[in-house]
Structure 1
């Protein structure tokens, strides 16, 4: 399959938001293209994340969204691979791996020490994909969430 990967810009907002909306539906959220668009637009305008789109057949069919973190022991920038999604019609063609590879390249381009990600234990596809792409499961840490009462601004 012929494809390209490009760093998304504000002019790619509509295509990115359509995929982001489908991604949220994958994680059992109600579809809401308007809120997905507003959320990504804010990320673009505030330079809060970097998004890469995979383009096939002249349209965006997948994306990865990265957020900047800082690693406390390596004392370097690190990227959180927050969101990875390929449209169901284009799965099984290596596009997720290509997006991960582009994310690794972004680490080199930005002098970052690596990528961090988390996924649901029930995400069978992701839990098979990530080790194949060189990710190691962290057995040493527990991850906890605290949610403020106003955390659902976009939900």
Structure 2
């Protein structure tokens, strides 16, 4: 497999992100939603995993007090099963720690056993359900949380604006 890197999402990534979004979700986010997240939402952090320089996956979270709420995670279908989701999630967890967050939450479809398995492998635990959460088929969402984040280092936060 070609060289893989994880980096902050940029507006120039959105063509690739929208392709992944439409291939991954029955109710995809709009391009305008991603543009707003990247340009206007100061509490949003999005990462991409790129192979050969092209984004093949992404994950995002909102910073809410001391919590990182994961908004979405997706890997292009052609790149699934290669460990890129785990690579991306580990980077997002480390970013949360570097941002001085103390815990993370997410919702995942009850039917998405593959994603749940990954999240559990990373230390997430089941904490509840949201009944009929998903608009397309009224499926329940499993709420998962991670409380033991790794040691953080704010100097590693790629989103931090530094004054020289």
Smaller-chain TM-score range? Answer: 0.7 to 0.9
Q: State the partner residue of 1:78.
A: 67
Number of residues of Structure 1 aligned to a counterpart in Structure 2: 131
More moved, 39-48 vs 78-87 = 39-48
CA 137–62 in structure 1, closer or farther in 2 if over 3 Å, else same? same
User: What's the TM-score once normalised by structure 1's chain length?
Assistant: 0.75
Question: Counting strand residues as a fraction of each chain, which structure ranks higher?
Answer: 2
Deviations 1:73-105 (A, max 9, x none): xxxx21111211111111111101011100111
Q: State the partner residue of 1:123.
A: 112
Rounded to whole Å, the distance in 1 between the matches of 2:23 and 2:61 is 18
User: What's the TM-score once normalised by structure 2's chain length?
Assistant: 0.71
Q: State the partner residue of 1:6.
A: 7
Any conservation in 2 of the 1:19–1:85 contact (CA below 8 Å)? yes
> Structure 1 residue 142: deviation in Å?
4.7
1:38 aligns with 2:39: no
Unaligned runs of 5+ residues in structure 1 are 71-76, 147-155
Unaligned runs of 5+ residues in structure 2 are 134-164
Q: CA RMSD in A?
A: 2.1
Q: State the partner residue of 2:90.
A: 101
What SS does the corresponding residue of 2:102 show, helix, strand or coil?
Answer: coil
1:22 aligns with 2:23: yes
1:56 to 51, 67, 81: 51
Runs of 4+ that moved beyond 3 A:
141-146
Any conservation in 2 of the 1:104–1:114 contact (CA below 8 Å)? no
1:89 aligns with 2:90: no
Rounded to whole Å, the distance in 1 between the matches of 2:45 and 2:118 is 21
Any conservation in 2 of the 1:79–1:116 contact (CA below 8 Å)? yes
